[in-house]
Amino acid sequence: MTASNSFTVRRLAHDDIALMEGMLTTFGEAFNEMATYGGSRPGAAYQRRLLGSDYFIALVALKGGEVVGGIAAYELKKFEQERSEIYLYDLAVSAAHRREGIATALIQELKAIAAERGAYVIFVQADHGDDPAIALYTKLGIREDVLHFDIPIDGRKGAE
């Protein structure tokens, strides 16, 4: 757990269902995708399995017990060498709490967890036009311009 003068960063554990729910709400509001993050949430048993797994990492930033930011990440074990990489899947900070160092603190905590697990890199994607995310990741890492493809399964058009 990391603390600053105004917020605390906490890694979620098996029974932190209420904090996971708070993180999902924060993501939905920050990304303006309430249906995606709130319309069909997994049940508590699913969330406990996910939070208790060895491949999922969830971090929240708390102010006065309220979730104001979060990271969802996955550890990907590599096959070509005994190492892993961390995929930072989602990162969001509530609009009212941006520019306070919360996103950077969340990433710093993820870096510590990645090092503890022996990962060699954290990777993340940002969408064109998401200038705040691009600026943050440019400040913290090395930019690679790549193409991203969604491959449909069973004729579906991808995530809804």
How would you write the chain as a 3-class SS string?
CEECCCCEEEECCCCCHHHHHHHHHHHHHHCCCHHHHHCCCCCHHHHHHHHHCCCEEEEEEEECCEEEEEEEEEEEECCCCCCEEEEEEEEEECHHHCCCCHHHHHHHHHHHHHHHHCEEEEECCCCCCCHHHHHHHHHHCCCCCCCCCCCCCCCCCCCC
Which pLDDT score, from 0 to 100, does residue 154 have? 78
Q: Decide if 155 is inside a domain.
A: no
Q: Decide if 74 is inside a domain.
A: yes
Which pLDDT score, from 0 to 100, does residue 7 have? 95
Q: Decide if 149 is inside a domain.
A: no
Range of the domain at 136: 2-140
Q: For every one of its 160 residues, what pLDDT tens digit does the chain have, with 9 covering 90 and above?
A: 666 669 999 999 999 999 999 999 999 999 989 999 989 999 999 999 999 999 999 999 999 999 999 999 999 999 999 889 999 999 999 999 999 999 999 999 999 999 999 999 998 776 666 666 666 666 667 667 766 666 667 766 655 5
Total structural domains within the chain: 1
What CATH code is carried by the domain that includes residue 67?
3.40.630.30
Q: Decide if 98 is inside a domain.
A: yes
Which pLDDT score, from 0 to 100, does residue 24 have? 97
Q: Decide if 159 is inside a domain.
A: no
Q: Decide if 145 is inside a domain.
A: no
pTM for this one? 0.82
